Structure 1
Amino acid sequence: MPASLSSTKTAAALRTSARASAELLLVLVAVSAALWLLGRMWSVVWPLIVGLILTTLTWPLARFLRRHGWPPALAASVVTVVFLLVAAGIVALIAVPVASQSGELADGVVAGIQRVREWAAGPPLNIGDAQITGAFDTAVARIQNSIGSMVTAVVTGVSTVINGVVTAVLAVFLMFFFLKDGPRFLPWLTRQLPGRLATDVPTVAARSWETLGAFVRSQAFVGLIDAVLIGVGLWILDVPLVLPLAVLTFVSAFVPIVGALFAGLVAVLIALVSNGLTDALLVLAIIVVVQQLEGNVFQPMIQSRGLGLHAAVVLLAVTLGGSLAGIVGSLLAVPAAALIAVVWNYLREQLSTPPQEPDTDEQDPTTAVPS
């Protein structure tokens, strides 16, 4: 005779499920409210994020100067001036030529897509499906429309330019204060928080800072190596637009997985249009070799402690960030996921049950020495 369900256990299970669902709903509401508040304060939060990222790049030099007896204010001032000079040099030597060739770069990508479409329509593929042809036409039209929109925004978007300048100025000032007063922040935070929070919040903040700094510095260095190696390969093959493609490779390195695929696709399309199929395949081979060196040599050497995120998590984070906030979301997705992982790991450490210590009072009979 089959066993009947226990009404007491069923009611208890339903109450537990209802309580868990209500708690989960409250957590989701709190997260939604936090995200809404973050969006409303984005004009302040975005300069703060940029300032933190710049601080992670410049902190090693400031720390070196402070350890050699420089006053904090003087060290922060020197590092800030050096950073501004380097940034101005980059704008003068790289950004101006890249901006002057950006239209040619975009036209080359569109022409490369059209070239691929024509190749797919001929032998041996002989793809003649009208839907596929329409999809290619739609993609080309969207790219052209996007280019026109971007040019229009650059020409007429005065408010956007002003907001960008204000963000940059605020970020530089915040970087200066972070460099000068950053080491005093955690002790001050500890004194302001009550009870258990005085230990938990500074610990999570310190771990988050280490993770963010490791990610930004390692990605910048690896992106620089990729840009130099791929740029040299493009220069040897006499592919046009070497400097814009190298800069695109460096910037794309901050978007793991997806960024490398995008930069490589653009380089191959430019080589296909300008130099032909043979050079395009050679460019593809160079990119594959460089990416293999990055994944198997550069990253393990430069970033000894990874972010602790699986490649699938990184890919999903970049996709979600891009769909929610565009380019900014793609850039911030992986650091945000890494910081969430830091908080989760700390919570798991605090909530886990410590291992049972062996009872030293009871003697193991197998090791007892007979009297």
Structure 2
Amino acid sequence: MDDFPEKLEAFVDADTNEALPVMQETAPDDDDHQHYPARIDRSVVIGESLRHVSMWCLRVLLIIAAGYVGWLILGQLWRGVLPVILALIVCSVLSTPNMWLRRLKFPPAAAAMVTIIIFFAVIAGVFWLIAPSIGRQSQTLYYQVFDGILSVQLWLQGEPFNLDSDDLTNFFNEVAAWLQNQAGTIAGEIFSGIGMATSVVITLGVVLVLTFFFLKDGDRFLPWARQAVGETSGWHLTELLTRAWTTLAGFIRAQAIVSAVDAFFIGIGLMLVGVPMAFALSVITFVAGFIPIIGAFTAGALAVLIALVSLGFTEAVIVLIIVVAVQQIEGNILSPLLQSKAMNLHPVIVLLSVTVGGTLFNIIGAFLAVPVAAMIAAAFRYFQDITSLQAGEKTAEDINYISPFGP
């Protein structure tokens, strides 16, 4: 701290100090031996403060304007950006097995191709397993839903409610119409969000091709980027990209583990209770788990609803207890343990991210919201590290650089 005055003096603008009008104190009497320092006019102090505030406001407005322009550009290019984002997410899952194959002396193209084939074979196998179950039990479940609605209607007509049958019939008809409308809306959102370019098939085809080339040539990107923008800027760029990629991959892996644990134990519970389509519901639980908070709640509510209409109230309560117990253990123990290292985001930020993403980009936005927020947070932490380094609060050894092309 001995050199603090010198450091502080380095940040003082000499020209500004010279421009500040100084008001000298009246010379004290000879009997007064106190020495009064020179004073600066209050109007100058207020003016300097307002100047700093106005400059900060101008900078913030410029950042907001740049962000708005970027948002407009993203909206125009979203049809082409979406396949790239989805391909990067798939690559974050497949990068590890792809590297395993490369260590086994597979050529890059062959390793990428084998990895993609195995990945889609697993997905096709899962759908092949759940499709017959859904086909066999969907019609039975359809009739059970109407039987359940009729039972509830008769129960409400009796004691102690004594509701009018016509009012109940109109109410359930409105609910059925609303559900049909929501189902159509959700289906439309899926096709408009994923197949925005032309169709789902074409979009998935583009994702497949991009995934192949990302797996095959992805390791060349960082050296090329650093060489393209220069040594100093390349250092920051490669570090930011590496941190963003590490955060994305960590989120996908952590969420996959959490979703798999939820799906396994909830699926076991559904099978023990005897809920129809238990395996299909466990798969839905796994997929929905990639949308934090909202996905798990939706999948659990669906399982409870199917148990209610197919088995009865008691079994539905048991399923509810199973779902809540598994999600509480996952949410309070497993998920914080895994995701704290991957994202380090407060649950409020996660919930707000999912809400905003879902509002702006529907289902795709809800799915992408948390990894995007985590990558933004990673970039902000790097900005804080560099700021602390330049302010002398940290040294280069205090910063954990993760890029292989860092300093």
1:181 matched to 2:246? The reply is no
Q: CA deviation at 1:100?
A: 7.8
The 5 A counterparts of 1:25-174 are 25-94=61-130, 97-98=133-134, 141-148=177-184, 163-174=199-210
Shift of 1:16: 2.5
Give the letter aligned to residue 18 of structure 1.
Answer: S
Q: Is the 2:95–2:215 Cα contact (8 Å) retained in structure 1?
A: yes
Partner residue, 2:35: none
In the alignment, structure 1 segments of 5+ residues that lack a partner are 129-133, 358-371
Q: CA deviation at 1:97?
A: 4.8
| One of 288, 308, 312 as aligned partner of 2:344 | 308
- Give me the whole-angstrom Cα distance separating, in 2, the residues matched to 1:188 and 1:279: 59
Structure with max Cα Rg: 2
CA distance in 1, matches of 2:370, 2:177: 31
CA distance in 2, matches of 1:110, 1:176: 47
Distance 1:350 1:175 in 2: 33
Number of aligned positions between the proteins: 346
Find the partner of 1:298 among 334, 340, 345: 334
Instruction: Please say if residues 110 and 144 of structure 1, whose CA atoms lie closer than 8 Å, have aligned partners that are also in contact.
Output: no
Deviation at 1:59, TM superposition (A): 1.1
Cα deviation code 1:303-344 (max 9, x no counterpart) = 571411001110111111111111111100100100100110
Q: CA RMSD in A?
A: 3.7
Aligned to 2:51: 15
For residues 34 and 107 of structure 1, the distance between their equivalents in structure 2, rounded to whole angstroms, comes to 51
Residue in 2 aligned with 1:226? 262
Alignment match, 1:360: none
Distance verdict in 2 for CA 1:67–1:237, change over 3 Å: same
2:189–2:362 CA contact under 8 A, matched in 1 = no
Q: SS where residue 41 of structure 1 aligns?
A: helix
- Residue 400 of structure 2 is matched in structure 1 by none
Question: Cα gap change, 1:31/1:192 in structure 2, threshold over 3 Å: closer, same or farther?
Answer: same
TM score, norm. by length of structure 1: 0.80
Rounded Cα–Cα distance in structure 1 between residues aligned with 2:142 and 2:65: 43
CA displacement, residues 275-302 of structure 1 (integer Å, 9 cap, x when unaligned): 2221111111111221133234433565
2:397 is the alignment partner of 1:354: no
CA distance in 1, matches of 2:264, 2:355: 27
Distance 2:176 2:111 in 1: 51
- Cα 1:350–1:239 change in 2 (3 A) is same
Does the CA contact (< 8 Å) of 1:54 and 1:175 recur in 2? yes
Per-residue CA deviations over 1:239-293 (Å, capped at 9, x if unaligned) read: 1232332222111111111211121122122222222221111111111221133
Kindly provide the amino acid, as one letter, of the partner of residue 172 in structure 1: L
CA contact (8 A) 2:98 2:112 kept: yes
Q: When the two structures are superposed, what TM-score results if normalisation uses the length of structure 2?
A: 0.74
Match of 1:255 among 291, 294, 298: 291
Contact 1:252 1:259 in 2 (8 A): yes
Distance 1:99 1:180, change over 3 A: farther
C-alpha contact 1:318 1:330 (8 A) present in aligned 2: yes
Secondary structure in 1 matching 2:49: helix
Deviates more, 1:118-127 or 1:145-154: 118-127
C-alpha distance after superposition, 1:132-186 (max 9, x if no partner): xx9998665432212245678999xxx8795211111111111111111111111
Q: Which runs of 5+ in 2 are unaligned?
A: 1-40, 165-169, 396-407
Cα distance in 2, alignment partners of residues 162 and 104 from structure 1: 36
Aligned to 2:249: 213
Q: Write the deviation string for residues 42-101 of structure 1: whole angstroms up to 9, x where unpaired.
A: 121111111111111111111112123222222112112212322322332235655786
- Between the aligned partners of 1:9 and 1:116, the Cα distance in structure 2 is 74
CA contact (8 A) 2:79 2:196 kept: no
1:242 alignment partner, one of 259, 278, 289: 278
Q: Work out the CA distance in 2 between the residues paired with 1:196 and 1:120.
A: 73
